[in-house]
Structure 1
Amino acid sequence: MHDFSALTDVELEQLAAALLTAELSRPVECFARGPDRGIDLRWRVDGGGWGVGQCKHYQRSSFANLRSAAKQEVLNVERLDPAEYLFVTSYDLTVGQKDQLHELFRRWMAGPHCVIGRNDLSALLTKHRDVARRHPKVVAANAARDWWAEHPEIANRASALKDRVSKALPRYVVNAGYYRARALLDQRRVCVIAGIPGIGKTMLAQFLVAEALGEGYEPVEISGDISEAWAAFREDRPQVFLYDDFLGQVRFSLQKNEDQRISNFVEKVAASKAKKFILTTREYILKDALAAYEKLEMLDQRMYLVLALEDYSRANRAKILYNHLWHSDLDRKSLAEVAMSYQRIVDHPGYSPRLVEYCTGPALEGEGADFVERFVDVLDNPDKLWRTAFDQHLTEEQKSAVVALATLPTDCEVDDLLTAALSLCRERGLRNVALRDCRFAIEVVEGTFLSVGQTGDRPVVRILNPSVTDFVQNRIQNDEELLRMVLDGAAFFEQLQQMWDFLRPRPPRRLGARATPPGLNIENLRSRFTAALDRTIYEQSALRRFEWVHANGWKYQESSNYFEERVGYCMRLPAGWRPDDWPDEIFRQLEIRWRHRVGDKLSAVRLLEEAERRFQLPADLLAAAARSLDRWLEVDLDEPEDWVAYLDRLASRGGAWRADEVLRRRYQEFVERQLRRWSPTPPHFEDLRHYAKEFGLSSLVRQLNDADRKANKLAEIRESRDVSTAALKPPVNDAEDDATLKKLFNRLIDRGEGD
């Protein structure tokens, strides 16, 4: 049975009108509320006269309240005296409750079937699938609910994503941007959503994910880098990948070869019938990254969707405000104020969906100026919003928690934030602060500056609003003393990667990109930065990924390959920004790790290849590390990634390996076992096929091609079962005149009675 709680009263009436139009085979008009109470829906009746319908959105109310509201409509119906009357509600009615409502309107109803409850609406939606396609919001909300219920293990693992999607759906307003994005996904399988901060990129992306769930796609959220997507990629199942702020939240900052890996993944998804890839980024960051990274520039620009404020008509802007207010916990006084002065918000030049979301949440609750005045003040001075809240409303412990979180990876674990916050508190001179104080500080700012969810079996935390990240990171960069304390108090290597983005001198590429503040003395901080690198490089990582654990499948855990990645990152820093004795010492540690078969083989191969090509290291040290890695690569060839790493290493040293008959035979036997083990294709499938071709194993290549065709065939079958969206068209914009919008916002005055 469908759940209609994601809809506002207006959206429910529009859906009811569309369903009744299909069911009655005649146009059903839908009216905004005005002085003629009692008419939400109207249609022509055979033989003359009008049929009238009334909608009551009482799904989360009681039947007593619903019946009381229905009784108040009797006088209106008597005055109208329609030829037919229908009473529509989202409430889940019993047979007895239907009879009670029918008794009120018996004179104008043909029978109890003229009382349409939640079950009846749900049946009509199932019957009229073309109507469902034209109302994607109710379909997406129910599809997401059902998918999470049917996959509890994934719902638990990705509860943070589940919560964000569930929260976003009721407030989303379907607009022209949605139809363009959906068309891109249907045609290209990839959609890059770009736009200015606060324009609604993330909410659109989350809505598209919810829709994909309804089509049977498994969600994968990428919070660190694209390797998470590669690790979670499964040839044998539909998957939708979400990569929010994939180029960084403030300016682009990609690790080495990340552009190549993203480009490769995009090509992989674009060639698949059972994958979707949704990325978001700020428009100016995308333009800078395309200019700087050749591989990103090669991506098909037909995959880009640039959202702009012009995509939101005045009616769209009003609906966004209305939806947020309808689903908010604001008191009736505040709602009434908006009904009287909505133009000051809808027509404000600083309007953005993000600020609407913020101002209709708990942030503006409390006493002071009236609600609309406080709302407009935020639109006038958005920077003041966080500055005032941060400086005047937070304790020092709470400030430390927010600052620490702004330097950590997205969706970091709560325990890692506690560690980083406590370390920063100590560095700031708060000697009496204990771990429990930091935990309490996180609890206090949850819901305003940060949100807590769950990934896997671990609680995770993220900045609640990207504009908070902007504010805090700008505060750090423009305050040399605070930057020094963050460096000295850094508990994790990943914090230093963020700090390096602040420290390196770089002029802005375009308006909006941040330059190094002219007053910041970077040289004074160099020794602190290198000391912090030396202190944290061997410490536990604040990043988590889905990784293949040979005996236990895919688990969300700290990655074993971060050390190799950290070394590569540090070695690429400019001279003077890492300890002078590092290269020799670090590679001695790597040689020991690889000798004891510790680390990630693929990362190790890439690092050693780069070291041999670029880094000035003693020949004997490099040779020792290479021997240990080569011995490790030759053993434990149990998984596809083991073979890929081994052959990548051989390929980097020349082509003689292709003629090794023993190696060719071992490889063919291994891949054939993997084809029997995995259905339809094993991990690292393209790499396995590449090396089958390199070995000249034509029979194995045919087997791999057959498996690939099987995978594509299964994907096509799944695709054919999906509800087609080819006929979806953007709706004609609703009337934007003030009389219509005033009727819309007047509904808020009655909200709270269940309607």
Structure 2
Amino acid sequence: MSNYDFRQLSPADFEQLARDLIQARDAMVLESFRTGRDLGIDFRHATASANTIVQCKHYVGTGLSGLMVDLKKEASKVAKLKPARYMLVTSVGLTPPNKTAIQALFGEVLATSDILGADDLNNLLGVHAEVMLRHHKLWLTSSAVLQRLIHNASFSQSEFDRERVLNEIRRYVSNAAYPRAMEMLGSDHVAIISGAPGVGKTSLAKMLIYSHLEQGYELVSILTDFQAGLERYQRGKKQIFYFDDFIGATFLGERASVFTRNEDRAILDFVEMVRASPTARLIMTTREHILRQAVITSEKLRHSRLIDSRCVLEIGDYSQEQRAQILYNHIYFSELPDEYRSALMAGRFYREIILHRKFNPRLIDWLSSYQRIKKSVPVARYQDFVRELLANPAEIWTYAYENQISDAARSMLLALYTFRGKCRPSLLKPAFLSLHEFRSKRYGFKTAPSDWHRALGELNGSFIRPGDEIDVIDPSVLDMLNAVVRRDSLNALDMIDGAVRFAQARQIWTFAIAQGNGNVLSELAADPARVAAAFQRLLAAPRKYGTEASAVVHFDDSQELRIGTMIDMAQVLHSEQLARIATSAVMALIADWEDAPVDVADGAALLQKLKTCTLYPSLCSAAVRAQIVRALVMEVSTGCRSDEFRALLDAVEPNELDVELTRHLQAGAHIYRAHHFSGELQECRSADAFNALEADIEAINARTSLDFEGPMDAIREAKEEFERYESAYVDQQYEQWKENRYEDRIGNQAIDDLFDSLKKT
């Protein structure tokens, strides 16, 4: 018979186990009410003629004495409920006299066969093995498994004592990656658990280990290299080998010496030996970026099947219910005082944590550790502390960025940062090469022609998600890079110097002037010559390129926006050098407008900036403004969008328009009404879009005196039709909403009931 210790199960875990065992034993389906104010009912089986009620009592602390005191109260509840059958499940061990005494409290509604104590549960687990397989924590709570684990020499060497094991396993929640990894171990005998920092790789690995301990495997913990595994390997013996962080926590791609002693060959030899053995299993963990880096660096690993044995664990592997269970388990088994638990309960704050887009098991561990917060986080600030941790989980990525990736990978992340974390490979590659070359000269590291592909492969699946567009794998990667630039503000200058597009440098400038980034702004102000030289170079950066289909694609800021940005910088940094460059650029731009089209929206914004520019008087002279106004009006006269037209009208003073310019403005309004309005109207997809178009038309009508009554009527009719469609759509979705509403409410109620149980502890 199984010998499980149910002490490490939370009340919610225990109730689920009891439900599954009763359903298996009695072939019935029980309604689940979860933990909370149950009114004497945890589960129920209702038929037309009678009801069966199940009550669970998980008394790991007070034992039998506490159980009997509580059951006297429960007996009065049962008498009011009047069920046809009452069942009691408890984690307390019961003798025959104990069951008789319990039965006497409830009367005939409770048969002694329906009083299930710890021994009965262990017996049922032996009969119904399929239930045991679904409840992973039982493997560790078995006394035999515990003894096997505690006295294992390898784990003793790795300092996995009993208390640490129990603390970790009781907080674990299974996820979608577990069956994938189990299948790998069953078919291939090898599983590499990889993923981003803090996602739960080690916890998953331990659950896999514990499942094999239950099956009689000997654990062999590999601490340094695979030679230890070879020395412990015994042909025909059931052994499971575990190598945490098997490539190394500080592996760096540029340190080729890491694999100079045939470590890569040793890895592959050991893996193949385990694959060929019917009794051996191997579990290894690593961060995804480190695994990618190693595969790129080593030709042997690159041409092997090693990466095929990889099980990538992602936050998406955790459902909302599993997230709730993770948080619940961490809080239930934590040392958090009652007042901190109450802070999590206040206003259902735990829902905010569970639904947060940056939810991460490591963050949950941080916020539930009283040792980490007791000296620095008073209970009054606990909710704010948790919000700040979730909003800026940079610690999850910082160590890996600073210590575990190559300089090429860091250059790629910094280059991607200048594109706000998302960019096409064709644009990112030249930006990376430029920044990487600049950083190598500045900081004295070596580069190689393969750095682009190596960095891309190294970061794939850990920091970035490649594809048609390369994107950061999680928003918190950008949070980390924000923190890196704030702390080491020289990075800002490096990214500006290494930029190949003006928009990249403008992104850094936008970050520098944001609230809280004063040190970055000071860094730029401290070296105005370097900043001015970089932006002057970027003024000449190409804005567009042609395609094979003879199309023109714009991939950088307009010249008008570039100059406007430099005017802002000159004002903020009090840089006469930037002002002089901007003045020359304005003159060149006006000359270019003779042959090149004008960007009306950015040109209008530039005109607005000249109204407030005081650093360089000649830049905002009446003569300069007049030339810009004329160029903008002439561009509008050939046709433009309504929002561009209105931007021009907002930027130009009425007295700046002479008779000729007014005539050209009216010509542009006529062209817009005849050729562009209908297209804009068809593009409207929301009430806000209709309202914005209507406001633009009203502004154009007021300044040009052109008749726009027809377009205004068309806007109103289209808006009314859209609103009718929206109303019909809402009605159509109502029935679907009603169907989903109950399930959503039940899901939220289940989570609320689960956390309400913490109020009892």
CA separation of 1:157 and 1:255: change in aligned 2, threshold 3 A = same
Name the counterpart of 1:318. Answer: 324
Identify which range, 507-516 or 309-318, moves more after superposition: 507-516
Is contact 1:144-1:211 (8 Å) kept? no
Is contact 2:205-2:283 (8 Å) kept? yes
Name the counterpart of 2:32. Answer: 30
Name the counterpart of 1:307. Answer: 313
Q: Distance in 1 between matches of 2:285 and 2:157?
A: 22
1:218 matched to 2:218? The reply is yes
Give ranges in structure 2 of 5+ residues lacking alignment. 408-442, 465-480, 492-741
Is contact 1:334-1:370 (8 Å) kept? no
Among 356, 366, 372, the residue aligned to 2:383: 372
1:270 matched to 2:266? The reply is no
Shift of 1:318: 1.1
Q: Which has the higher contact order (CA 8 A, sep 6+)?
A: 1
CA separation of 1:467 and 1:290: change in aligned 2, threshold 3 A = same
Q: Distance in 1 between matches of 2:401 and 2:244?
A: 19
Is contact 1:144-1:213 (8 Å) kept? no
CA separation of 1:71 and 1:469: change in aligned 2, threshold 3 A = farther
Among 356, 373, 376, the residue aligned to 1:348: 356
Identify which range, 240-249 or 511-520, moves more after superposition: 511-520
Among 721, 737, 744, the residue aligned to 2:744: 737
Alignment of 1:226-241 (within 5 A): 226-241=226-241
Q: Distance in 1 between matches of 2:387 and 2:65?
A: 39
Letter in 2 for 1:245: D
Alignment of 1:547-586 (within 5 A): none
Aligned partner of residue 88 in structure 1, secondary structure:
strand
Give ranges in structure 1 of 5+ residues lacking alignment. 386-465, 478-501, 521-734
Q: Distance in 1 between matches of 2:323 and 2:22?
A: 28
Aligned partner of residue 234 in structure 2, secondary structure:
coil
Letter in 2 for 1:166: L
Q: Distance in 1 between matches of 2:32 and 2:379?
A: 39
Is contact 1:31-1:39 (8 Å) kept? yes
Name the counterpart of 1:175. Answer: 175
Letter in 2 for 1:347: L
Among 509, 528, 544, the residue aligned to 2:455: 509
Letter in 2 for 1:318: A
CA separation of 1:748 and 1:101: change in aligned 2, threshold 3 A = farther
Is contact 1:155-1:162 (8 Å) kept? no
Aligned partner of residue 342 in structure 1, secondary structure:
helix
Name the counterpart of 1:593. Answer: none
Is contact 2:154-2:222 (8 Å) kept? no
Name the counterpart of 1:497. Answer: none
Aligned partner of residue 356 in structure 2, secondary structure:
coil
Shift of 1:373: 2.5
Shift of 1:49: 0.7
Name the counterpart of 2:627. Answer: none
Name the counterpart of 1:91. Answer: 92
Name the counterpart of 2:259. Answer: 255
Is contact 2:44-2:52 (8 Å) kept? yes
Q: Distance in 1 between matches of 2:444 and 2:238?
A: 42
Among 340, 345, 357, the residue aligned to 2:365: 357
Is contact 2:33-2:750 (8 Å) kept? no
Is contact 1:244-1:281 (8 Å) kept? yes
Name the counterpart of 1:39. Answer: 41
Name the counterpart of 1:101. Answer: 102
Shift of 1:503: 9.5
Structure ranking higher in helix proportion: 2
Q: Distance in 2 between matches of 1:744 and 1:123?
A: 31
Name the counterpart of 2:694. Answer: none
Letter in 2 for 1:37: L
1:2 matched to 2:4? The reply is yes
Q: Distance in 1 between matches of 2:175 and 2:235?
A: 33
Shift of 1:312: 1.0
Shift of 1:144: 6.7
Aligned partner of residue 340 in structure 2, secondary structure:
helix
Name the counterpart of 2:429. Answer: none
Name the counterpart of 1:13. Answer: 15
Letter in 2 for 1:210: Y
CA separation of 1:271 and 1:152: change in aligned 2, threshold 3 A = closer
Shift of 1:750: 4.1
Letter in 1 for 2:316: E
Alignment of 1:54-69 (within 5 A): 54-69=55-70
CA separation of 1:223 and 1:745: change in aligned 2, threshold 3 A = farther
Aligned partner of residue 142 in structure 2, secondary structure:
helix
Q: Distance in 2 between matches of 1:287 and 1:470?
A: 14
Shift of 1:223: 2.1
Q: Distance in 1 between matches of 2:445 and 2:367?
A: 36
Is contact 2:35-2:756 (8 Å) kept? no
Aligned partner of residue 248 in structure 2, secondary structure:
coil
Q: Distance in 2 between matches of 1:197 and 1:246?
A: 15
CA separation of 1:471 and 1:93: change in aligned 2, threshold 3 A = farther
Shift of 1:264: 0.8
CA separation of 1:17 and 1:101: change in aligned 2, threshold 3 A = same
1:209 matched to 2:209? The reply is yes
Larger Rg: 2
Q: Distance in 2 between matches of 1:176 and 1:154?
A: 29
Cα deviation, 1:418-447, whole Å, max 9, x if unaligned, reads xxxxxxxxxxxxxxxxxxxxxxxxxxxxxx
Cα deviation, 1:228-266, whole Å, max 9, x if unaligned, reads 222222224221111111122254563321111101111
Q: Distance in 1 between matches of 2:287 and 2:161?
A: 21
Q: Distance in 2 between matches of 1:469 and 1:335?
A: 30
Aligned partner of residue 375 in structure 1, secondary structure:
helix
CA separation of 1:35 and 1:231: change in aligned 2, threshold 3 A = closer
Q: Distance in 1 between matches of 2:745 and 2:183?
A: 32
Name the counterpart of 1:48. Answer: 49
Aligned partner of residue 175 in structure 1, secondary structure:
coil
Shift of 1:342: 1.1
1:199 matched to 2:210? The reply is no
Identify which range, 74-83 or 741-750, moves more after superposition: 741-750
Alignment of 1:421-570 (within 5 A): 470=400, 509-510=455-456, 511=459, 512=463
Aligned partner of residue 102 in structure 1, secondary structure:
helix
Letter in 1 for 2:296: A
Shift of 1:215: 1.3
Aligned partner of residue 509 in structure 1, secondary structure:
helix
Name the counterpart of 2:559. Answer: none
Aligned partner of residue 192 in structure 1, secondary structure:
strand
Q: Distance in 2 between matches of 1:370 and 1:115?
A: 46
Q: Distance in 1 between matches of 2:389 and 2:243?
A: 29
Is contact 1:2-1:122 (8 Å) kept? yes
Aligned partner of residue 160 in structure 1, secondary structure:
coil
Q: Distance in 2 between matches of 1:736 and 1:181?
A: 31
Identify which range, 35-44 or 202-211, moves more after superposition: 35-44
Shift of 1:114: 2.4
Name the counterpart of 1:337. Answer: 343
Q: Distance in 2 between matches of 1:63 and 1:469?
A: 49
Shift of 1:184: 0.6
CA separation of 1:335 and 1:149: change in aligned 2, threshold 3 A = same
Name the counterpart of 1:117. Answer: 117
Shift of 1:338: 2.3
Q: Distance in 1 between matches of 2:403 and 2:144?
A: 34
Is contact 1:193-1:305 (8 Å) kept? yes
Alignment of 1:118-157 (within 5 A): 118-142=118-142, 145-148=145-148, 151=151, 156-157=156-157
Residue correspondences, number: 432
